[in-house]
């Protein structure tokens, strides 16, 4: 046991612990408002979740990747089942009270299956890709991983939780990339999404279709593949407006507010504006730990979940932001290094998928606080309050630590 601990990947565990401590401190500060709310004491509950997560991580660390690989389909199946149950009995919470994201028993919310679902999809995709030994070379070969990702994606979209659903997509792309899928194929796969976005300007969409046609000729793809891609892009152009109308008003507003927060500063743009004001007023050194006035006076919305990074920006300033981002950068680089040195392709894909998951969460959450990205309510790893995602992160750290330990055992020298 202790010998294993001695061989543990020290950079990873120290970065993870540092982030957990930084996050807990920020969460404590987020609760310090002038008019006390329930947020004031949630850092204690987060501490309990951290302890639970540490236990879970330790258990996973003791689990062989082979056992994980064997268990992946079962975990995946269980999560899909849980997501289906969630759609039936799920409840909303907080800013998204109308959605069905939470499993609750007797009125007590237990957790969000979607967060664990992300991990399950990583494991399942890793198993499928590792089994094939060759990267998918054609669009038809991408159907199966697409379905693996697609089932939980659709289930989460139905909740509806657009933010988490997008994370599933980025995980798929990250893992296909790591498996060695040709970039052309990934672009073709992504083309319908690009077509969807460009459909809001007819000229841009037309240009995209012409470009895509050229690319298909250039890459000499199969005729039926090319036809399918073209059809999909045309279809996206057609359904774009019905799809837009189908989006919930809050989702539309978030996208509109991203483009121009001042459209409706008191309602739609409120989150973005207040977040930017909090971050911007922080300046170089910040207003001081627990002293951020936007947060204290409740101008900053969701300061303990979605916008917790704005608290860092306001109270600890640019310095605090850079420290936090450096820690996140270190975490991602360590994970990439572990993925590179993994002893087997399954482990490698798992760790890279985890890196992709964390990367998406970090970039999206941090980016939206300064309006670099539209608002989607996905949590910041180790910072945002929430048991399910913290548990998912802990499990991910456990897996990564195990993979690193395995490769250490097999002879990779310490960097």
Contact status: 288 vs another protein (CB under 8 A): no
Near another protein in 5-44, by CB under 8 A: 33-35
Residue of 168, 352, 382, 385 interacting with another protein (CB under 8 A)? 352
Site size for another protein (CB under 8 A): 50
Q: Among candidates 268, 274, 320, which has minimal Cα distance to 297?
A: 274
Residue of 313, 374, 377, 387 interacting with another protein (CB under 8 A)? 313
The burial class, CB within 10 Å (0-12 / 13-18 / 19+), for 136 is buried
> Measured in whole angstroms, how far is the alpha carbon of residue 371 from the centre of its chain?
17
Nearest approach, Cβ of residue 73 and another protein (Å): 22
**Cβ atoms of residues 182 and 137 within 8 Å:** yes
Residue of 124, 272, 308, 366 interacting with another protein (CB under 8 A)? 366
Residue of 5, 260, 329, 409 interacting with another protein (CB under 8 A)? 329
Residue of 133, 218, 245, 411 interacting with another protein (CB under 8 A)? 133
Near another protein in 375-404, by CB under 8 A: none
Between 123 and 355, CB nearer to another protein = 355
**Cβ atoms of residues 294 and 87 within 8 Å:** no
Between 83 and 130, CB nearer to another protein = 130
Residue of 283, 288, 409, 410 interacting with another protein (CB under 8 A)? 283
Contact status: 280 vs another protein (CB under 8 A): yes
**Cβ atoms of residues 288 and 315 within 8 Å:** yes
Between 227 and 372, CB nearer to another protein = 372
Residue of 64, 288, 297, 410 interacting with another protein (CB under 8 A)? 297
Choose the binding region for another protein from 116-124, 198-206, 326-334, 403-411 (rule: CB under 8 A).
326-334
Between 159 and 274, CB nearer to another protein = 274
Contact status: 415 vs another protein (CB under 8 A): no
Number of other residues whose CB lies within 10 A of the CB of residue 8: 14
Choose the binding region for another protein from 16-24, 63-71, 248-256, 335-343 (rule: CB under 8 A).
335-343
Q: 3-class SS at 408? A: helix
**Cβ atoms of residues 358 and 379 within 8 Å:** no
Nearest approach, Cβ of residue 107 and another protein (Å): 26
Residue of 355, 390, 396, 400 interacting with another protein (CB under 8 A)? 355
Choose the binding region for another protein from 87-95, 227-235, 255-263, 289-297 (rule: CB under 8 A).
289-297
Q: Among candidates 51, 192, 76, 88, which has minimal Cα distance to 126?
A: 76
**Cβ atoms of residues 378 and 365 within 8 Å:** yes
Nearest approach, Cβ of residue 348 and another protein (Å): 7
Q: What is the DSSP string of 204-224?
A: HHHHHHHHHHHHHHHHT--HH
Contact status: 276 vs another protein (CB under 8 A): yes
Helices (H), 223-344: 223-246, 249-259, 270-282, 293-296, 308-341
Nearest approach, Cβ of residue 48 and another protein (Å): 29
- Any bridge partners for residue 111, and if so which? 103
Residue of 203, 266, 411, 413 interacting with another protein (CB under 8 A)? 266
Between 18 and 47, CB nearer to another protein = 18
Q: What's the CA angle centered on 181, arms 180 and 185, to 5 degrees?
A: 160
Residue 48 structure tokens:
């309990």
Q: What is the DSSP string of 340-394?
A: HH-SSHHHHHHHHHHHHHHHHHHHHHHHHHTTSS-----PPTTTS--HHHHHHHH
| Distance spanning both ends of the chain, measured CA to CA | 23
The burial class, CB within 10 Å (0-12 / 13-18 / 19+), for 358 is buried
Residue 286 structure tokens:
């910040």
Choose the binding region for another protein from 109-117, 210-218, 317-325, 380-388 (rule: CB under 8 A).
317-325
Site string for another protein, 155-194 (x = CB under 8 A): ----------------------xxxx--------------
Contact status: 322 vs another protein (CB under 8 A): yes
Which residues in this chain contact another protein in the complex, by CB under 8 A?
33-35, 133-135, 177-180, 266, 274, 276-284, 293-294, 296-299, 313, 317-318, 321-322, 325, 328-329, 332-333, 336, 339-340, 345, 348, 352, 355, 359, 363, 366-367, 370, 372
């Amino acid at each position: 046991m202790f010998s294993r601990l001695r061989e543990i990947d020290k950079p990873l565990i120290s970065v993870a612990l540092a982030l957990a401590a930084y996050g807990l401190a920020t969460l404590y500060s987020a609760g310090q408002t002038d008019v006390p709310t329930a947020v004031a004491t949630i850092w204690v509950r987060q501490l309990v979740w951290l302890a639970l997560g540490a236990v879970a991580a330790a258990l996973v660390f003791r689990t062989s990747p082979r056992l994980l690989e064997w268990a992946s389909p079962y975990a995946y199946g269980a999560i899909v089942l849980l997501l289906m149950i969630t759609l039936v009995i799920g409840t909303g919470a907080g800013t998204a009270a109308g959605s069905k994201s939470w499993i609750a028993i007797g009125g007590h919310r237990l957790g969000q299956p979607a967060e664990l679902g992300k991990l399950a999809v990583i494991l399942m995709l890793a198993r499928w890709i590792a089994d094939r030994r060759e990267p998918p070379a054609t669009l038809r070969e991408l159907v199966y991983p697409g379905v693996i990702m697609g089932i939980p994606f659709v289930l989460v979209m139905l909740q509806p939780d657009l933010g988490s659903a997008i994370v599933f997509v980025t995980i798929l792309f990250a893992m296909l990339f790591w498996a060695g899928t040709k970039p052309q194929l990934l672009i073709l796969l992504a083309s319908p999404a690009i077509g969807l976005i460009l459909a809001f300007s007819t000229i841009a969409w037309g240009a995209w279709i012409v470009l895509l046609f050229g690319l298909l000729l250039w890459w000499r793809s199969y005729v039926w593949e090319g036809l399918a891609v073209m059809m999909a892009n045309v279809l996206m152009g057609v359904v774009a407006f019905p799809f837009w109308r189908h989006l919930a008003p809050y989702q539309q507003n978030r996208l509109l507010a991203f483009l121009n927060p001042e459209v409706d500063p008191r309602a739609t743009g409120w989150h973005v504006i207040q977040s930017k004001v909090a971050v911007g007023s922080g300046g170089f050194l910040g207003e001081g730990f627990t002293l951020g006035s936007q947060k204290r006076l409740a101008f900053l919305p969701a300061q303990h979940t979605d916008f917790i990074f704005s608290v860092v920006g306001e109270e600890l300033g640019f310095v605090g932001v850079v420290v936090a981002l450096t820690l996140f950068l270190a975490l991602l680089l360590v994970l990439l290094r572990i993925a590179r040195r993994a002893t087997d392709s399954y482990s490698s894909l798992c760790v890279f998928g985890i890196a992709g998951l964390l990367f998406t969460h970090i970039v999206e959450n941090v980016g939206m606080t300064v309006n670099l990205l539209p608002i989607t309510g996905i949590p910041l790893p180790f910072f945002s309050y929430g048991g399910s995602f913290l548990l998912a992160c802990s499990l991910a750290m456990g897996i990564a630590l195990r993979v690193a330990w395995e490769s250490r055992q097999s002879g990779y020298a310490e960097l």
